[in-house]
Amino acid sequence: MSRNSELFERACKVIPGGVNSPVRAFGSVGGTPCFVERAQGPYIWDADGQQYTDYVGSWGPAILGHSDPDVIKAVQEAAVHGLSYGAPTEGEVVLAETLTQMLPSIEQVRLVSSGTEATMSAIRLARGFTGRNTIIKFEGCYHGHADSLLVKAGSGLLTFGNPTSAGVPAEFVAHTLVLDYNNLDAVRDAFKQKGDEIACIIVEPFAGNMNLVRPAPGFLEGLRELCTEYGAVLIFDEVMTGFRVGPQGVQGLTGIRPDLTTLAKVIGGGMPVGAFGGRRDIMQCVAPVGGVYQAGTLSGNPVAVAAGLATLKKLAQPGFYDTLTANTANLIQGLKAAAQEAGVPFTADHQGGLFGIYFSENVPTSLAAVSAGDIERFKQFFHAMLDKGVYFAPSAFEAGFVSVQHTSDITDATVQAAREVFANFKN
Give me the active site residues, please: 142, 237, 265
Part of the chain binding ligand PLP (CB under 6 A), chosen from 33-41, 113-121, 163-171, 411-419: 113-121
Q: How far is the CB of 119 from ligand PLP (least distance, A)?
A: 5
List 18, 57, 91, 115, residue binding ligand PLP (CB under 6 A): 115
Contact yes or no for 224/78 (Cβ under 8 A): no
Q: How far is the CB of 297 from ligand PLP (least distance, A)?
A: 16
DSSP H stretches of helix in 45-148: 69-80, 90-102, 115-130
Q: Is 346 in the site for ligand PLP (CB under 6 A)?
A: no
Contacts (CB under 6 A) with ligand PLP, residues 118-147: 119, 142-144
Asked if residue 88 has a cis previous peptide bond (ω within 30° of 0), the answer is: no
Part of the chain binding ligand PLP (CB under 6 A), chosen from 232-240, 313-321, 330-338, 351-359: 232-240
Q: Which is nearer to ligand PLP, 123 or 342 (CB)?
A: 123
Contact yes or no for 244/220 (Cβ under 8 A): no
Q: Which is nearer to ligand PLP, 116 or 294 (CB)?
A: 116
Part of the chain binding ligand PLP (CB under 6 A), chosen from 3-11, 32-40, 111-119, 302-310: 111-119
Query: How many other CB atoms are found less than 10 A from the CB of residue 48?
Result: 14
Part of the chain binding ligand PLP (CB under 6 A), chosen from 108-116, 227-235, 288-296, 379-387: 108-116
Q: Is 236 in the site for ligand PLP (CB under 6 A)?
A: no
Binding residues with ligand PLP: total (CB under 6 A): 15
Q: How far is the CB of 265 from ligand PLP (least distance, A)?
A: 7
Q: Which residues pair with 275 in a beta bridge?
A: 111, 263
Q: Residue 225: is it exposed, middle or buried by C-beta count within 10 angstroms (0-12/13-18/19+)?
A: middle
Residue 292 φ/ψ, nearest 5 degrees: -90, 115
Q: Which is nearer to ligand PLP, 261 or 411 (CB)?
A: 261
Contacts (CB under 6 A) with ligand PLP, residues 238-297: 239-240, 264
Burial 134-167 (b: 16+ CB within 10 A, else e): bbbbbbbbbbbbbbbbbbebeeeeeebbbbeeee
**N residues, the chain:** 427
Which among 406, 401, 412, 327 has a CA at the least distance from the CA of 57? 401
Query: How many other CB atoms are found less than 10 A from the CB of residue 357?
Result: 26
Contact yes or no for 333/414 (Cβ under 8 A): no
Which among 235, 227, 243 has a CA at the least distance from the CA of 278? 235
Part of the chain binding ligand PLP (CB under 6 A), chosen from 114-122, 177-185, 336-344, 401-409: 114-122
Contacts (CB under 6 A) with ligand PLP, residues 34-93: 59
List 105, 108, 116, 327, residue binding ligand PLP (CB under 6 A): 116
Q: Is 151 in the site for ligand PLP (CB under 6 A)?
A: no
Q: How many whole angstroms separate alpha carbon 132 and alpha carbon 129?
A: 8
x-or-dash string of contact with ligand PLP, 177-216, rule CB under 6 A: ---------------------------x---xx-------
Please report, as ranges, the residues that interact with ligand PLP according to CB under 6 A.
59, 114-116, 119, 142-144, 204, 208-209, 237, 239-240, 264
